Structure formats: structure tokens, C-alpha cells
Structure 1
Amino acid sequence: MRDIETNRWTGIEGAALIAGAAGVVLQQPSLLLVAGVGVAYTAYAWLSDAPDPRLDVERTLSETTPDTEEEVRVTVTVTNAGTTLTDLRLIDGVPPALEVTDGSARLGTALRPGKSATFSYSVEAVRGEHVWEPLRAVVRSPSAEREHSETVASTEETTLRCAPSLEATSDLPLRGLTTQYTGRVATDVAGDGLEFYSTREYRRGDPLNRIDWNRRARTGEMATLEFREERAATVVLVVDARRESYVAGEAGGQNAVERSVDAATRAFSSLLDSGDRVGVTALSPRECWLAPATGADHRTRARELFAANPALAPTPSDEPYYPIVALRRLRRRLPSDAQVLFFSPLADDLAVTAARRLDAYGHLVTVVSPDPTTGDTTGHRLARVERRNRLARLRRAGLRVVDWGERPLATELARAGRRWSR
């Protein structure tokens, strides 16, 4: 609650005093009359006060669980339960991550007792859980000299939940660290698979479809074909959600954390469909951990995490972050056979340090880096050079890096896969 003076009538007292003095000295009744009018306006301004609003607020959404980028219509109805409000201004508490795409979240009106005013606007749904803040009501006195401002909560909390669809991207080029379970990652172990690996001496009981009949026809010797065994991988998706990573290529554009989370949701679905064990975590001041697993229930838990976990919120947290403590905790949690997909814009050197340390601990790291330096300002050009140096340092250290610019992620992954297979 706040009361302020607008200073709308500032100077009228001085003008009335000057007019009155001039009227007395010059013996001009008209000037005395002007001075009297000024005194009357001054009294009117000082004696009128801004009333305290008593408002009932009701807010409704056309859809409370929309899909990403779906338009949601918000309708706000304000009822005056107090005295007459001659100058009422309303500002709805739109969540910071949502953008108003149609209409206005503000209204200026006058309300008699018992009357209602309604306004509506549309927002574009983005991933996450978004809670509306209380509406702000600003009431002015009839003279507009004084202004009273306070927040008014709606009758029920308004929440919009937008969960990602977990669409799969193209096959992710994983590295060789695998589990004992059958999957799609080619290993250097002979066994069942699709890719030829070697031949060995025939053993009694070997299946007929594994016998090298060409060699049998050419030399008369029996030999058995062996293929490169394919196994499942344990993968942990690590999203760099520190405050430094909330950067975008242009004002109002999608920030790098949002792009990273979008890529992580697609990677999660792709890996889970391939039979790999997948987990999710974040470098963030807030807690975020989903242990690697498989199955439909695990997919549901991941969808809930991507939608509502505060560590992956579309806006940064103001809580302090201690990188050394966070990396130690992450290292203890990672399974020994887990490899890491690290999603980060590489906006500072700490991201490089985190990726290299995880790789040094034996968790093969692949970095997927959304590029936030697409602008053409001096600052963007400098940031672009610094980021390229960080990419080069990671590649020299033996890490795989996907530099994700304006092309679709699937295109960048396919290009990277071809490059790594040479």
C-alpha cells in the first residue's frame, strides 16, 4: 500500500499569492478575484483525498494447461465493494515469463459501488508453471492531487501450467561408455549386432546364419561371423541454468536456457525411445535431479520436471549459487557408467570448467551449445569471439561440441555426427 502526491497543483499557491499581492498594490479587483479562485483550487486539492479501494478481483483463463506457444485468453473482472472511485487504474500481475500478445493487461475506468469492470488480453504459453501476481489498483482523488496504490489478490490463485510435449529429435551421436543392457550404441565388444566386427573359428552349436559360407566355399574351412555388439547407454542431461546463461541474441527473444531446455526435452525423448537410461539435472541454485531410468513412468516424471521444476524456470533465480559445491554434489550423484550431455551457451569460463571436470572424472561429455551471440552489436561481436575461444578449448580437450546456431537442432546434430564418424 502506498500514498503519494502527484504534485498536479504545484505552483497554484504561489500564483494565487502573487495575484493577490498585485491586486492589493495595484488596486485591481480582477486580480483579487483571480487570487480567490487560486485559493479555492488550492483548498480543493488539499482537502480531497484518495479513497481506499475495496475491490473483488476474479481472473479466469481460457486454458490452464495449454501446449507450448498456444494463445491463452485472460479475463479479469473487478467489482467495487466500497465507495465511488472516480479515477481507477488497474494493472494485472502478468507472470514475467509470459508475453502479452493481444489486448492490454491495464485498464483505466471509474466505478460506482457494486459495479464491475472487465478487461481481457492474451498471452503466449511457454514451458513452465506460471502464477499470476496480485493485481495493482491505483486510485486518485477527484482533484488528482493524491494517489493511493495497493495490490489486490484474486479470489483464487491463477496458475498456468505448460508442459513440453517431449518430441524426439534425430538420433543423438552418443559416445562409447555403455551399460550391460542391449541398446543402440556400437561397442568394441563382439556379439549380437548389425555391424560386422570380426570372424572366429567355428564352434559346435553356432547358428547357421552366422557361418561365413563364402569362406567355406573358398577354402573349405568353417568360420563364424561376429558383429559389433550394441548396448544401451546411461546418459545424464545437464542444463546450465545459472543466471549467466539467461542470455538471448535479441531483446525479447528466447533465452539460451529456454533453448537448452527445449533441446534437453527432445534429447530425453529420443534417448528413452532408443532404450537408453536417461536422467536430468541442472547447474542452478535450486534443486533439480531425476536419476537415470527408463519406462513410461520415468517419461511422466521427466515431463513434470521440465514443466514445473523451479531450477529450469524461464526466468533466472536470485538465490546465490556456489559452483564448487554444486559440481561436487553432481559428481557424487552421477552413476559411474554415465555419460553427460551438457547444454550450455558457454557464456562464461565456469561452463567450460564444469564440462572439462565432468569429462576428467570419466563421464564422457558432449556439449550442445545454443549460440546467443547472433546480434550485430559491438557487445555481441565481442561475446562471439570469447565464446568461439571457449568452444576451441573444449575441442582441444577432446570433448565433442555441437555449436547450435540458427539452424534446427536436428540439422546440427546430423552435421556433427558425420564429422565425428570420419
Structure 2
Amino acid sequence: MSESQQVPTGRNEAAETTDTTTEADDGAAEPVRTAADSHQDVLRQTGRWAGITALALFGIAFGVFAQNPAAFLAGVFGVTFAAYAQAGSAPESELHLHREFEDDRPDPGEEIEVTVSIENVGESSLPDVRIVDGVPGQLHVAEGTPRHAAALDPGERATFSYTITAERGAHEFEPAQVLVRGFSGAVERETRVQDESEPLVCTPGSLPPSTNLSLQPLTTPYSGRVETDIGGDGLEFFATREYQPGDPLSRVDWNTRARTGELSTLEFREERAASVVLLIDVRTEAWCRPTESASSAVERSVEGAMQSFSSLIDAGDRVGIAALGTTECWLPPGSGGDHRTRARELFQTEPLLAPDSVDDLIERPISVAALRQQLPSHAQIILFSPLVDDLVVEQAKLLDASGHLLTAISPNPTTTRSTGESVARMERDLRIADLRRSGLRVVDWAWEEPLVTAISRAGARWSA
């Protein structure tokens, strides 16, 4: 959870001021002093009492000419009040901000509550405090509002909450924007208050251990979970062979010894680790989505790859990461805690895998030759791609034919809302059928479906 930091007035982070923080009926805000450096507060007129002076003078003049004492006195009162408002100033503030997350390691799409408390640790009363929390641009507020208003006496604290929808990545909250006004409200002081909370890190959880990720018998010499046609250490009986001096007594077939008098040794089916590369399609063609507000197919693929990585490495396999269309994003297959940490950093910091990297993408031709130079000769491939063009299908078949057994996991971004979208869906279905006819295994992953459900459904098809 987060820690908090006390930030005195005049030393807060400053940022550009916006008129949206001033009420619509206040009128246009009139800056009276700008920050001399990036750590100073900003004072400005709110325009709340604009026009009062002119109206008061009109009342005085009307009272004199019309000999109306009531209008004259009302005008005098108006001028006095306007002078008081103009002479007033926003009090200086010393504020303490604390931000707490309901869960600081949520899964993508999970709604979590953010609780913010702001305390007046200064000696002045603050009759009008307005705060806008610094929600990162990648996160969306699902319920409530990150805005709050309160009056704070010395030592008093105000607390409010709102709910955000988590998105993949590490999200650092910006300093909260705070507006402080005096009793008249004619002048406001803008300041920025930050706490020392850790970034909100959102990574998908792993798949259940029993999930069948279609690892075929292409293995490495390391022990693992993929069955081979080689006798050795394991659990499943494989064969018997002639006893050799030095064989452990626990492996001697005593039943055969009692029956024939000959010594023989039991062998079991050896299990070895698979070497797997998770290949994510990040080409411009893959940045498609079923609706404008939905995440992209690349983002969906990255989430699936992160879940698969955790499941595979927990099962003892050696796992790597690559991007289709570039050789810049590459983590060789490995295992262990250090390798898991490197993979987590790559998923969080690699620009090509970022949710907003589509804005900086250029056309990236696929180079199977360059990719094969990176791949270990024994590596299997799990390709994450929406399969929305023919080129990726042809390259997938080439990789599989070159000895890298390939399974495709394809998030489906297509819909049937229009004739064109229905045609795109049918074309994608034909590409999947083409891959299956070529002997490749394909997981057709519906958009709102958990990955484990899609894999289980596909596994039933493979075993049929």
C-alpha cells in the first residue's frame, strides 16, 4: 500500500492550470501571478464577484437621483462588500496527502477502489479546498469521481473514494491538483500535492496448473513435464532392460527376479522440459479492436502471453518472448526467478508491447529468417495473433515447417455489426481452417472469454 508525504506550500510540483477547475458561474479566471519556477503555487482571481462594483455604483447613483434611501444604502453595502472581496486572498496551505489502493496488484479489467485522504497540517483554516486526484491517463474511472471539496480546520482530514478499471502496466499517479480559496472566494491558490505511493502495477495472473497449452514432444535436456519416448527417471512405466552394475536397488524388477532368477532394471518414461517462445504479433495489422472503447488485439495478446508465461515457467519449462515483425523485442528461453523478473520488466517496459504504442508504429515486414536466427533449434512457438491478414498465416506455416512446432492463440476482434465486419470474420475463420488443415493447432479465443476456457475447449478438439 501507499505511503504519504507532507508537502508544504510553495514547494509543491506545479503544472499547467486549467479553467475547468473553476465553477462555470464564477466567470473566466483572471491570472494575477504566475509561478516563477516549477515549485511555486499559483494565485489567480476567480471572477466570482465580477460586476458587483458596477452594480453597486449604479444603485448609489439611482438612489441619489431618485432620492431612494433603500437603493442608496444597498449600493453602499455592495461597494463595501466588493472592496472586501477584492482585498481578500487565498490562505496559505500545508497539506498532507495519502492514497491507498484496495489491491495494488490487480488483474487487467479488475475494478479497484482508490481511497484518498487529505489533511490540513498547517495552522490556518481552509474554508474551501477542492482536490482533483492525478489519475493516470491510461486508467478509467468506473465509479465515483476523483474530485472532492471540503472545508478543513487545522488538523482536520477529508477522505473520498472512487473506483478505477485496471489496465496492464505500471501506472504512477500524478500529483493531485488542489485549489484553496478564502471565505470570499475571490482569489484561489493552486498547488500540487504528491505522496510517495508505489506505482499501481497491473499484470495478469497465471493460468491454472492443469491448463493444457499444447506443448508437443519437442524438448530440451532439462527435466520438466513433457513426456518423451526415452527411458529414464519418471513416473510412468516405459520398459525393462538388463541389469547393469550400479543400478539402484529401487529400480530392480524383483518380480522378474523371483520368477526367472534373472536381474532386470525398470525404466520409466522420462519427462523433459519444453523450450517455448511466446511470439506476439505487434504489426500494425494486429492493432484492431471490436469497438472503439475496447482494448486492442495486441493488448489482449500480451495479456494472454503473460498468463501463459507464468503457467509454463511454473511447470518447469524454459520460456522466451519475441515479437513478430521485429527482432528488438527478445528474451531467450530460460527459467528461474531471475528470468521471471526479466520477463516481467520486458512486459512492463517494452515500448512495442505498451497499450499506446500503436501511435508510434510503422509498417513492419515479417522476416522469418531473422526470427529463426534468434530461435533455439529445439524451441516450440506459441503465436499470439488476431490472424486478420494472410501474411501471418503463411509465416506461421513456414515456422512450423522449419521444425518449430507452432500453436496459435488468436484473440478474435471481429464482429457482425455490419456487412464488412461480417466478411472480415468469415475471412478470419477461413485462415483458422487453413492453419488447422496444415496440422497446426489453433485456439480461437473469443473476446470476452477467459483464456483458460478457450484453451480447454480447443484441447477437447485436439484430443477428439
TM-score w.r.t. the length of structure 1 is 0.66
Matched with 2:451 is 409
Q: Give the secondary-structure state (helix, strand or coil) at the position aligned to 2:360.
A: coil
Q: Give the secondary-structure state (helix, strand or coil) at the position aligned to 1:416.
A: helix
Q: Give the secondary-structure state (helix, strand or coil) at the position aligned to 2:76.
A: helix
Matched with 2:332 is 291
Q: Which stretches in structure 1 are left out of the alignment for 5+ residues?
A: 194-203, 206-227
User: What aligned pairs does 1:299-338 form with structure 2 within 5 A after superposition?
Assistant: 300-301=340-341, 304-305=344-345, 308-309=348-349, 311=351, 315-317=355-357, 320-324=360-364, 332-338=373-379
Matched with 1:89 is 130
Matched with 1:212 is none
Q: Give the secondary-structure state (helix, strand or coil) at the position aligned to 1:324.
A: coil
Q: 1:35 and 1:330 mapped to 2: Cα distance?
A: 83
Q: Give the secondary-structure state (helix, strand or coil) at the position aligned to 1:301.
A: helix
CA deviation string 1:91-115 (max 9, x = no partner) = 3334455666787644322234x42
CA deviation string 1:352-376 (max 9, x = no partner) = 64564455454554332223456x8
1:237 and 2:278 matched: yes
Q: CA deviation at 1:278?
A: 1.8
Q: Give the secondary-structure state (helix, strand or coil) at the position aligned to 1:144.
A: coil
CA deviation string 1:233-288 (max 9, x = no partner) = 4321133568974847695x776556434432443344446654321245699975
Q: CA deviation at 1:322?
A: 3.9
CA deviation string 1:11-35 (max 9, x = no partner) = 4455445545544554444334444
Q: 2:198 and 2:455 mapped to 1: Cα distance?
A: 39
Q: 2:216 and 2:50 mapped to 1: Cα distance?
A: 73
Q: 1:246 and 1:140 mapped to 2: Cα distance?
A: 47
391-400 or 335-344: bigger deviation: 391-400
1:30 counterpart letter in structure 2: A
Matched with 1:48 is 88
Q: Give the secondary-structure state (helix, strand or coil) at the position aligned to 1:86.
A: strand
Q: Which of 29, 37, 48 is 1:8 aligned to?
A: 48
1:402 counterpart letter in structure 2: V
Matched with 1:389 is 427
Q: 1:142 and 1:332 mapped to 2: Cα distance?
A: 71
Matched with 2:119 is 78
CA deviation string 1:57-109 (max 9, x = no partner) = 34455765578859666453433436432211123334455666787644322
Q: CA deviation at 1:45?
A: 3.8
Work out whether residues 204 and 307 of structure 2, in 8 Å CA contact, stay in contact via their aligned partners in 1: no
1:171 counterpart letter in structure 2: N
Q: CA deviation at 1:138?
A: 1.5
Q: 1:285 and 1:140 mapped to 2: Cα distance?
A: 54
User: Relative to structure 1, is the Cα distance of residues 102 and 312 closer, same or farther in structure 2, using a 3 angstrom cutoff?
Assistant: farther
Q: CA deviation at 1:151?
A: 1.7
Q: 2:323 and 2:128 mapped to 1: Cα distance?
A: 48
Q: CA deviation at 1:180?
A: 7.1
Work out whether residues 285 and 311 of structure 1, in 8 Å CA contact, stay in contact via their aligned partners in 2: no
Matched with 2:25 is none
1:140 counterpart letter in structure 2: R
1:31 and 2:81 matched: no
Query: Cα RMSD (Å) of the superposition?
Result: 5.0
CA deviation string 1:203-254 (max 9, x = no partner) = x98xxxxxxxxxxxxxxxxxxxxxx999864321133568974847695x77
Q: 1:59 and 1:291 mapped to 2: Cα distance?
A: 38
Work out whether residues 144 and 161 of structure 2, in 8 Å CA contact, stay in contact via their aligned partners in 1: yes
Work out whether residues 348 and 354 of structure 2, in 8 Å CA contact, stay in contact via their aligned partners in 1: no
User: Relative to structure 1, is the Cα distance of residues 62 and 414 closer, same or farther in structure 2, using a 3 angstrom cutoff?
Assistant: closer
309-318 or 165-174: bigger deviation: 309-318
Work out whether residues 220 and 273 of structure 2, in 8 Å CA contact, stay in contact via their aligned partners in 1: yes
Q: 2:69 and 2:131 mapped to 1: Cα distance?
A: 46
Q: CA deviation at 1:141?
A: 4.0
Q: 2:73 and 2:328 mapped to 1: Cα distance?
A: 72
Q: Give the secondary-structure state (helix, strand or coil) at the position aligned to 1:412.
A: helix
Q: 1:139 and 1:246 mapped to 2: Cα distance?
A: 44
Q: 1:377 and 1:87 mapped to 2: Cα distance?
A: 50
User: What aligned pairs does 1:62-211 form with structure 2 within 5 A after superposition?
Assistant: 74=115, 76-81=117-122, 83-96=124-137, 105-112=146-153, 114-121=154-161, 128-154=169-195, 156-161=196-201, 164-167=204-207, 168=209, 170-174=211-215
Work out whether residues 148 and 160 of structure 2, in 8 Å CA contact, stay in contact via their aligned partners in 1: no
1:84 counterpart letter in structure 2: S
User: Relative to structure 1, is the Cα distance of residues 158 and 182 closer, same or farther in structure 2, using a 3 angstrom cutoff?
Assistant: closer
| Percent identity between the two aligned chains | 38
CA deviation string 1:294-351 (max 9, x = no partner) = 4x436643674487445598843487234528968756533344343222445x65xx
Matched with 1:369 is 410
1:386 counterpart letter in structure 2: A
Q: CA deviation at 1:137?
A: 0.8
User: Relative to structure 1, is the Cα distance of residues 143 and 284 closer, same or farther in structure 2, using a 3 angstrom cutoff?
Assistant: farther
1:268 counterpart letter in structure 2: F
1:236 counterpart letter in structure 2: V
Q: Which stretches in structure 2 are left out of the alignment for 5+ residues?
A: 1-13, 19-28, 31-45, 233-240, 243-268
Size of the alignment, in residue pairs? 380
TM-score w.r.t. the length of structure 2 is 0.61
Work out whether residues 178 and 337 of structure 1, in 8 Å CA contact, stay in contact via their aligned partners in 2: yes
Q: CA deviation at 1:152?
A: 1.3
User: Relative to structure 1, is the Cα distance of residues 138 and 359 closer, same or farther in structure 2, using a 3 angstrom cutoff?
Assistant: farther
Q: 1:276 and 1:66 mapped to 2: Cα distance?
A: 26
